[in-house]
Amino acid sequence: MRKTAAAVLASVLFAVLTACGSADRADTPAAPAFTAASIRLEGPWYSFDLPQVAGGTEKARTDFNEGMRAELDPYLRAAAQNQRVKGFNSEVAHIGRHVLSGVLGIEVSDGYLHPTTFKRTHVTDIDTGKALTLPDLFTDLRQGLDRLSAQAQAQIPKTRVGTNPYDTQRIAPAVENFKDWLAMPDGMRVYLGEIASHALGYIDITIPWSELDGVLEPGLRAVVSS
């Protein structure tokens, strides 16, 4: 009985210390300053300004810059197959105290009347120097996806979609539907795609971090909202 009580106490202490460690990240000193930059990439079938960062810490800078390039590479390979690829509205969207967020706007033309549009993103945790992905955000990925799906359903009528019909399968609680997101101060910006029609364009929503309370990893809200 005494051993069981000790084990319970140890578990509680471990949980408290772990939670405190996560929360303390918000109070850590800021990393050296990053600045937004870009690299011009041009070839016979493509033209692109690739968002990059300069300065800051080497590990985080490398993860962000290589992560953005990795998101673009499949489309450059498409350009090698005589598909025209060009960039639009690509940017380092946010340089925070603890996160870097970047987005690529990509148009691929394969001979049809309208090009196909894509948005691809990369988020770097400055403190760890590693990418932040959906599984990193949530204590339980399924619960997190359910919350994102419910928020998308609530917000889409407030976008250009309005009362127009859209593909509800594109907001089902699946990783592929929410994998392109940015960590912004006001919330999680999610790029949903051309879910209604090409004419209505690419739809994105911003989910306030407060709407994700209870499913985010402990202490992470202060990091992603920095």
pLDDT digits (tens, 9 = 90+) for 67-121: 999 999 999 998 888 789 999 999 999 999 999 999 999 999 876 667 889 999 9
The pTM (predicted TM-score) of the whole model is: 0.86
Residue 135: exposed, middle, or buried by beta-carbon count in 10 A (0-12, 13-18, 19+)?
exposed
Q: Give the pLDDT band (50/70/90) at residue 18.
A: very low
Mean pLDDT of 199-213: 96
Radius of gyration of the chain (CA): 20
Q: Give the pLDDT band (50/70/90) at residue 20.
A: very low
Amino acid at 179: K
Do the domains spanning 31-132 and 133-226 agree at the CATH topology level? no
User: Is CATH 3.30.505.50 what the domain over 31-132 is classified as, yes or no?
Assistant: no
Closest to 117 in 3D by CA, of 129, 107, 128, 132: 107
Beta bridge partners of 123: 101
pLDDT digits (tens, 9 = 90+) for 30-76: 668 999 999 999 999 999 999 999 999 999 999 999 999 999 999 99
CATH of segment(s) 133-226? 3.90.640.20
